[in-house]
Amino acid sequence: MTRTASTFLLLSLYFVAGCGAGGASDGSSASYDDAPSDPANYRVVAVTSLADSGPGSLRACADRPFKRVCVFETSGRIALRTPIVVEHPDLVVAGATAPSPGILVTNSGLKIRAGNVLVEHLAIRPGDEAEGAEPSERDGVVVEGGLASSVRLRNLSVSWAVDENVSTSGPVRDVSVERCIISEALYDSIHPDGPHSMGALVGEGARRVSFVGNLFAANYDRNVRWKFDTSGEMVGNLIYGWGGKTPWNTTNLSDLEGGGGAVTLDVVSNVYVPGPEGLRSAFAVFAEEPPSGTRVFLADNRAPRETNLPESLLASSPVVGATAVPYGSEETPEKVFAEAGSRPWERNPVDKAVISGVRSETLRIRDGVGSFPEVAEHSRPLPLSGMELAPEEVPAALAAVPR
């Protein structure tokens, strides 16, 4: 099927300029002597340690105040004490460079407050262990603040958050979430406000937030929640297993607070499957008191019911510019099963179980984690570690790393 190409999701533009400021994300100060000789270039920084912080850690790479590419010379679990906060722009976290079976980040997640950031091929599972970030801070990935723009989250597996698995906050711009598995946010767990389990939230003021080719599975609510004064798209996603006995918990545009500011949204080629706990008469797109001026384009979606929005809010053509995908909703589930998640070429046990449970429609909303899966620690040197690369050289250099 043919759709208008998106004006904001340009998949080949990984490395545009950004700006930002800040110190180390663990609250300490740090200095680095490996800045590229040309500030327009990227330094390839090897992650060799699975520690929360310190030399060779993922946090130390992310904290560097210059253009950097984090590559992984080790596999295994990184147990965080606090979120890794990205304050400086021009960051690539290349999780596919890790040796088998990849990287698992637990006990906290990422906060991205800078521009031109690409994070890919990680499993991020905050969980409910006693150690780690405060329960109210146990999100998977948060993109927040006015400096957060041109942020891509690609091929991540984000699950077991105590709050949201994925969210934006503040006037972020041009954020894309592509081919991720966003699953099993914890319901009756350790959140201070009680039962939670939230898939994805787009906070007020966000512009051009894109969800393409993702699996949302067994999140009780916010599949996706679009607050007032937002714009974006949902294209080719599989949304499974929401909770509740009302229509609220699928894709929701409600503005009960009367905050004002329209939602502008394209919803194309998505499939909604209730699962064993979801309302079987739910709408794909629901709104109670939608914001004034809202415009929504709906096409080729499969759901128990499409929408309760009045005709006056529905557009006859894309209002943001729906990303073209080379398949329709009849192919969405199999495309998502094949391509979404942190390492589709070697599925980890959690993602395998999620996909199997969605296929059989037996996967249910969960309350707790229990123990984290073991992730073997394997090490290997990478020839590109320490290299200085021009922006146009980065994609090819990463693609050359064997999987």
pLDDT in tens, 83-136: 999 999 999 999 999 999 999 999 999 999 999 999 999 999 999 999 999 998
Whether the Cβ atoms of residue 109 and residue 126 lie closer than 8 Å to each other = yes
pLDDT at 354 over 60: yes
For 36, phi then psi, to 5°, come to: -65, 145
For 341-361, what is the mean pLDDT? 98
Domain spans of the chain? 103-374
User: What b/e readout covers 244-266, taking b as 16+ CB neighbours within 10 angstroms?
Assistant: eeebbbbbbbbbeeeeebbbbbb
What is the band of 246 on the pLDDT scale with cuts at 50, 70, 90?
very high
> 103-374 belongs to which CATH class?
mainly beta
Per-residue pLDDT, 260: 83
Per-residue pLDDT, 401: 97
Spatial separation of the C-alpha atoms in residues 53 and 223, rounded to whole Å: 33
Please give the full DSSP string across 318-377, using - where no structure is assigned: -SS-PPP-SS-TTTHHHHHHHH-SS-TTS--HHHHHHHHHHHHT-----S---SPPP---
Whether the Cβ atoms of residue 162 and residue 126 lie closer than 8 Å to each other = yes
What is the band of 282 on the pLDDT scale with cuts at 50, 70, 90?
very high
- Residue 170 has which token pair? 């503040």
- Greatest Cα pair distance, the chain, in angstroms, is 60
Name which of 302, 308, 245, 305 is nearest 277 in CA terms. 245
Per-residue pLDDT, 16: 37
Name which of 350, 111, 395, 340 is nearest 212 in CA terms. 340
pTM over 0.75: yes
- Residue 246 has which token pair? 């009302």
pLDDT at 160 over 70: yes
Per-residue pLDDT, 6: 35
- Residue 59 has which token pair? 């946090």
For 221-246, what is the mean pLDDT? 97
Per-residue pLDDT, 22: 40
pLDDT at 52 over 70: yes
On the 0-12 / 13-18 / 19+ scale of CB atoms within 10 A, 281 is: exposed
Whether the Cβ atoms of residue 261 and residue 228 lie closer than 8 Å to each other = yes
- Residue 359 has which token pair? 């296929």
Would you give the end-to-end CA distance of the chain in angstroms? 33
